[in-house]
């Protein structure tokens, strides 16, 4: 795995993005931002599952102004997502947004971007330049690949912001196409010092979207690229946060939270391992502490993995051997599998 790319850290509210800060998981609310109570409730749900930054859509003036009431009800930093109308960015800043996300390609004239940059600078509020493959500005180099056009668009906007003496910048280059996204990020990572927000845009419903995102985001993180991530899913945003942490945990980039090791089951299993793993996963979802639990279907591969976990069981016919920190601590009957595992999990964590 490549060492993490060095980036210039920025501060969004009390969250540091880039530099040596841990990779930040973010999401976006799916409520109508003008509905302050629903938006606050969803942000609180996101916070509970570990989300560190939240973006809200700002489609009109009422949504921009709602940010001030939303901020009074939550503790996570709020990023205002602006398209087309630069005046909404100014209003969001006025309302106390902790960050802005602009797609300069659809904001229009440089003077409008400039007005926003000046207002952000007065308040030390960072701006994410969010380039999307689907809305690229016109280029003088039509022979460029989509990834190159995305990089060109981002660099132009970075230059504009820098010319206004503004460097609280974060950049994203998102496409639905995973190779295009990876190419674009790899290219820009060498061309500018700012932190990168990475993700695969519009990746779809969870079953496929999580895989697309894991391949794209996971590849980039493995290459050392990425300071903050969002898994974009057509689902409740909680699913985005859960998926994001699973990607980080898969690469050992996040030590918090439980890890469930469960065998896929096969003809050797003499218990319903799928049902058992689902029940254990449901219990682990209530825990934020690092604990590794293994649920294995037989004595062929089971004891090795079970010993390697903090708590593990290797099942046989109607019973299982229970392991704790690598040591066999007893045999349990099938009817007690979940209860016994939960008891050990509770003892090892603060639950
Ligand atoms: Fe099959 Fe046993 Fe491996 Fe599970 S641990 S997949 S039951 S061989």
104, pLDDT greater than 70 = no
d(CA 224, CA 296): 33
Backbone angles phi, psi at 163, to 5 degrees: -65, -20
61 within 8 A of 91, measured Cβ to Cβ: yes
105, pLDDT greater than 70 = no
Q: What DSSP character marks residue 336?
A: G
142, pLDDT greater than 80 = yes
Between 68 and 175, whose confidence is greater?
68
Lowest mean pLDDT among 136-145, 246-255, 323-332: 136-145
Closest ligand 1 atom to the C-alpha of 299?
2
Q: What is the pLDDT of residues 6-24, one digit of tens each?
A: 999 999 999 999 999 999 9
Model confidence at 38, pLDDT cuts 50, 70, 90, reads very high
Question: How many angstroms is it from 318 CA to the middle of ligand 1?
Answer: 15
Chain-centre distance for alpha carbon 299: 37
The protein residue whose alpha carbon is closest to atom 3 in ligand 1 is: 301
Backbone angles phi, psi at 71, to 5 degrees: -60, -30
Question: How many angstroms is it from 235 CA to the middle of ligand 1?
Answer: 32
pLDDT over 90, % of the chain: 81
Q: What DSSP character marks residue 12?
A: E
Q: What is the pLDDT of residue 106?
A: 75
Mean pLDDT, range 200-205, rounded to an integer: 86
Q: What is the pTM of this model?
A: 0.90
108, pLDDT greater than 80 = no
256, pLDDT greater than 80 = no
**Mean pLDDT estimate for the chain:** 93
54-68, 125-139, 153-167, 281-295: range with highest mean pLDDT:
54-68
The protein residue whose alpha carbon is closest to atom 1 in ligand 1 is: 266
d(CA 79, CA 125): 10
Question: How many angstroms is it from 264 CA to the middle of ligand 1?
Answer: 7
User: Could you tell me whether strands 228-229 and 24-28 are parallel, antiparallel, or unpaired per DSSP bridges?
Assistant: parallel
d(CA 283, CA 331): 21
Query: How far are the Cα atoms of 15, 22, 262, 268, 269 from residue 301, in angstroms, in the given order?
Result: 42, 34, 11, 10, 11
Question: How many angstroms is it from 53 CA to the middle of ligand 1?
Answer: 40
Between 279 and 141, whose confidence is greater?
279
The protein residue whose alpha carbon is closest to atom 2 in ligand 1 is: 298
d(CA 29, CA 104): 22
Which residue from 260, 261, 263 has its CB within 8 A of the most atoms of ligand 1, so it is best to mutate?
Answer: 263
Burial class of residue 64 in the structure, from the number of CB atoms within 10 Å of its CB (0-12 exposed, 13-18 middle, 19+ buried): buried
d(CA 277, CA 298): 14
Q: Determine the angle formed by the axes of helices 146-163 and 178-189, rounding to 10 degrees.
A: 40
Q: Is the dihedral of CA 202, 206, 208, 211 positive or negative?
A: positive
In the beta sheet, which residues pair with residue 73?
A: none
Q: What is the pLDDT of residues 298-341, one digit of tens each?
A: 988 889 999 999 999 999 999 999 999 999 999 999 999 999 99
Q: What is the DSSP string of 199-242?
A: --TT--SHHHHHHHHHHHHHHHHHTT--SEE----SS-HHHHHH
Mean pLDDT, range 170-186, rounded to an integer: 95
Q: Which own/partner contact pairs does 266-275 have at CB distance under 8 Å and 24+ positions apart? A: 266/297, 268/297, 268/298, 268/300, 269/297, 269/298, 269/315, 270/297, 270/298, 270/315, 270/316, 270/317, 270/318, 271/297, 271/315, 271/317, 271/318, 271/320, 271/334, 271/337, 273/297, 273/315
Q: What is the pLDDT of residue 111?
A: 87
Q: What is the pLDDT of residues 45-71, one digit of tens each?
A: 999 989 999 999 999 999 999 999 999
The two structure tokens encoding residue 110: 């440089």
> Coil, strand or helix: which one is 55?
strand
Closest ligand 1 atom to the C-alpha of 302?
5
The protein residue whose alpha carbon is closest to atom 6 in ligand 1 is: 265
Residue 155 contacts by C-beta under 8 Å, 6 or more apart in sequence? 188, 191, 192
Q: What is the pLDDT of residue 351?
A: 61
Q: What is the pLDDT of residue 154?
A: 94
Closest ligand 1 atom to the C-alpha of 267?
1
Ligand 1 environment, Cβ below 6 A: 263-266, 268-269, 296-298, 300-302
Question: How many angstroms is it from 341 CA to the middle of ligand 1?
Answer: 19
Question: How many angstroms is it from 305 CA to the middle of ligand 1?
Answer: 11
Question: How many angstroms is it from 251 CA to the middle of ligand 1?
Answer: 24
Q: What is the pLDDT of residue 140?
A: 82
d(CA 80, CA 116): 12
Q: What is the pLDDT of residues 258-301, one digit of tens each?
A: 899 999 999 999 899 999 999 999 988 888 888 999 999 998 88
């Amino acid at each position: 795995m490549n060492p993490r790319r060095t980036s210039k850290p920025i501060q969004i509210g009390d969250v540091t993005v880039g530099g040596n800060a841990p990779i930040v998981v973010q999401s976006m609310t799916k409520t109508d931002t003008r509905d302050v109570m629903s938006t606050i409730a969803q942000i609180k749900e996101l916070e509970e599952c570990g989300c560190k930054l939240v973006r809200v859509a700002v489609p009109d003036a009422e949504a921009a102004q709602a940010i001030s009431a939303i901020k009074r009800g939550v503790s996570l930093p709020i990023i205002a997502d602006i398209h087309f109308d630069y005046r909404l960015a100014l209003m969001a800043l006025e309302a106390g947004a902790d960050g802005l996300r602009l797609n300069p390609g659809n904001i229009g004239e440089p003077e409008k971007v400039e007005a926003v940059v000046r207002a952000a600078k007065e308040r030390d509020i960072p701006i994410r330049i969010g380039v999307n493959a689907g809305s690229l500005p016109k280029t003088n180099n039509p022979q460029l690949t989509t990834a190159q056009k995305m990089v060109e668009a981002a660099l132009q906007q970075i230059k504009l912001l820098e010319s206004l003496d503004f460097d609280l910048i974060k950049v994203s280059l998102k496409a639905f196409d995973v190779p295009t996204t990876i190419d674009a990020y790899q290219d820009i990572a060498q061309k500018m010092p700012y932190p990168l927000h990475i993700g695969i845009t519009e990746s779809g419903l969870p079953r496929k979207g999580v895989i697309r995102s894991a391949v794209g985001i996971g590849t980039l993180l493995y290459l050392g690229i990425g300071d903050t991530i969002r898994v974009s899913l057509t689902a409740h945003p909680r699913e985005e946060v859960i998926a994001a942490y699973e990607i980080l945990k898969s690469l050992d980039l996040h030590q918090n939270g439980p890890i469930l090791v469960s065998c896929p089951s096969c003809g050797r299993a003499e218990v319903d391992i799928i049902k058992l793993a689902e029940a254990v996963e449901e219990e682990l979802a209530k825990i934020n502490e690092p604990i590794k639990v293994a649920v294995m279907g037989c004595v062929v591969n089971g004891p090795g993995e079970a010993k390697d976990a903090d708590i593990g069981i290797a099942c046989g016919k109607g019973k299982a051997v229970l392991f704790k920190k690598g040591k066999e601590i007893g045999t349990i009957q099938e009817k007690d599998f979940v209860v016994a595992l939960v008891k050990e999990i509770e003892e090892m964590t603060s639950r």
